[in-house]
Amino acid sequence: MNTVLDKCTVVLEELRTIQILTETHSEGLSDQLKQTEKNILEIENLFTRIDQLNESVQKTKSDLDKLEKLYNVVTRQ
pLDDT single digits (tens) 30-53: 889 999 999 999 999 999 999 999
- Which amino acid is it at 17? T
Write down the pLDDT at residue 60.
98
Write down the pLDDT at residue 15.
95
Write down the pLDDT at residue 62.
97
* Cα 20 off chain centre by: 29
pTM of the model: 0.59
Kindly tell me if the per-residue pLDDT of 10 is higher than 80.
yes
Write down the pLDDT at residue 36.
96
Write down the pLDDT at residue 66.
96
